[in-house]
Amino acid sequence: MAEDIGKILSNGIDTYSKNFNLCVPFILNIIFLVLTALIITIIGFFSILGSFSFKEYNDPEASPWR
Amino acid sequence: MMSTLSQHVYEIAALVIIGLLILVFIASFFTSGAIGMARQATETGRSQLSTMMEAGKKNVVNLFLAEIMVMLLFFAGIVFLVPGIKNMDFSQPSENATAGVLLLTGFLLLLIYLLILSVVLAAVRYALVIESLGPVDGILAGIEFFKKNMFDVILLLLVTFAVAFVSAIINQVMGLIRL
Identify which of A25, A40, A48 has the shortest CB distance to residue B4: A48
Higher pLDDT: A62 or B73? It is B73
For residue A13, give the amino acid letter: I
A24 touches chain B (CB under 8 A): yes
| Cβ contact, residue pair B30, A21, below 8 Å | no
Measured between CB atoms, does B159 come within 8 Å of chain A?
yes
| Tens of pLDDT, residues B85-136 | 888 777 776 677 888 888 899 999 999 999 999 989 988 999 999 999 999 9
Nearest CA to B77 among B106, B101, B119, B120? B106
Helix (H, G, I), strand (E, B) or coil at A46: helix
Inter-chain residue contact A22 with B27, CB threshold 8 Å: no
- Rounded CA-CA distance B163/B49 in Å is 26
Q: Which amino acid appears at position A61 of this protein? A: E
pLDDT digits (tens, 9 = 90+) for B125-144: 999 999 999 999 999 999 99
Interface contact flag, B45 A25, Cβ < 8 Å: no
Contacts of A18 (CB under 8 A, 6+ apart): B41, B45, B46
pLDDT at site B100: 83
